Amino acid sequence: MPISARTVFRFSAAASVATAVLFAQSGTSAISTSSGPTPPAVPGPTLTGSVLSGRFTLDDGSAPPERVRVELTCNSIARPQGWTDAKGNFSVQLGINNPDELADLSYAKAVEQPPSGMAQAVGGPPSIDVIPRDLAGCELSGVLPGYRSKVVLLTGHRRLDSPDVGTLVLHRLANVEGLTTSATTALAPTTARKALDRATQAIRKRNPEEALKELKKAVEIYPKYALAWFDLGRVYESRKHFKEAVEAYRHSVDADDKYLYPYERLYILTASQEQWPQVLELTNRVIRLDPYDFPRAYYFSAIANLNLNDLDAAEKSAREAVKLDLAANPRAGYVLGVILARKQNLTEASDLLRAYLKVANSTEVDMVKRQLAELEKYIPPK
């Protein structure tokens, strides 16, 4: 027996997942756009104080075009550890998250907690208790959109071993038009660059008011300064000034429409407002510019298409999200399950919900169990 056509599935960033009822026979279900629980700061690792160092280069031996994020992945969970310098060199202390909380808002919560699901919409890997003492199941790599990094396996690395992991090569990917450095940066006047430098220092010193002042100065001097507009949006977002953040991100996009980072923040913020056509437009642009390095674009595209009732497009995006990001974002499998339930593919949908139930947080377990039980009513016995 098929699920009633009156059943409506809707994803809402404002509603709590704990009170959502997905398979109601009438009315609307509201499910958070959360891509998983917001990770806390990584606890102090067992491998306290261990340092790894090395260097990233491009295929031709030259330095990367911008700083590379150094990432430690243990048991499929990625954690940012720090950044290279301008020449590609790095030295990171394991277990210590990126010291600049504003440097990558997609990994962790902002300086101040955003309201109503925004922190969950930011996404990030689920929390882990410790980094294994012998780094079993761990590897080190670099993250620079548009490039793929060599991976260094760390299993068996001990604290007294040499910290130098050598040179890691970054390979340029084909079919990537988007950039994580803006072409407008090279054209910025010296006075604007100095203002941006001062703002960067203020961010590192946790002085957002000073950062705002300097960033406003930078974009006033040079209105096409895409990087400064983006940083201005990050600071506004961290202070819960979401309207101003959206305006700044849009200025960044207007200044350089191939600069990728502001798109990412925009589709997360517009999803929180349930502006699904805008979310779809933004995620489509990111996927077109770089189909590899922003897997959450597929995730939010799936949610937007689901709310716009384009189930085929929603399924296509959700399957890409699962393929690229399931370990870090298990909710992608849950979203795919919802979509397949709508499409009457009940067996695969129930399998996906059952798999998600194993990793769902405590506030979601009862809800997912109810949803699964409702689904199984309609699956013929084998």
255 and 280 both lie in a single domain: no
345 in a domain, yes or no?
yes
Spatial CB neighbours of 304, under 8 Å, sequence gap ≥ 6: 271, 276, 277, 279, 280, 283
Return mean pLDDT, the chain: 76
249 and 309 both lie in a single domain: no
200 and 162 both lie in a single domain: no
382 pLDDT more than 90:
no
Question: Do 268 and 8 touch, CB atoms closer than 8 A?
Answer: no
134 pLDDT more than 80:
no
pLDDT reported for residue 79 = 77
298 and 207 both lie in a single domain: no
Residue after which a domain boundary falls, among 144, 172, 200 = 172
Per-residue confidence band for 11, with pLDDT thresholds at 50, 70 and 90: very low
Per-residue confidence band for 333, with pLDDT thresholds at 50, 70 and 90: very high
CATH number at residue 353: 1.25.40.10
If one counts the domains in the chain, the total is 3
156 and 70 both lie in a single domain: yes
Average pLDDT over residues 244-249: 96
75 and 143 both lie in a single domain: yes
Residue after which a domain boundary falls, among 124, 147, 172 = 172
Average pLDDT over residues 315-331: 90
119 pLDDT more than 70:
no
195 and 128 both lie in a single domain: no
10 pLDDT more than 50:
no
Helices 346-357 and 331-342, interaxial angle, to 10°? 160
44 in a domain, yes or no?
no
pLDDT tens track for 179-210: 556 667 878 899 999 999 899 888 878 889 99
| Weakest-pLDDT range from 62-76, 94-108, 277-291 | 94-108
307 pLDDT more than 90:
yes
345 and 233 both lie in a single domain: no
133 and 214 both lie in a single domain: no
Structure tokens belonging to residue 213: 């002042």
pLDDT tens track for 334-369: 999 999 999 999 999 999 999 999 888 888 889 889
Q: How many CB atoms lie within 10 A of CB 163?
A: 16
283 pLDDT more than 80:
yes
Average pLDDT over residues 144-156: 82
120 and 153 both lie in a single domain: yes
DSSP characters over 142-161? EE-TTEEE--EE-TT--TTS
pTM of the predicted structure, to 2 decimals:
0.68
Reported residue count of the chain is: 382
Per-residue confidence band for 32, with pLDDT thresholds at 50, 70 and 90: very low
| Weakest-pLDDT range from 39-48, 76-85, 149-158, 221-230 | 39-48
Q: What residue numbers bound the domain in which 364 lies?
A: 8-32+273-376
133 and 59 both lie in a single domain: yes
Per-residue confidence band for 3, with pLDDT thresholds at 50, 70 and 90: low
94 and 160 both lie in a single domain: yes
Residue after which a domain boundary falls, among 172, 194, 219 = 172
pLDDT reported for residue 46 = 37
Average pLDDT over residues 166-177: 78
359 in a domain, yes or no?
yes
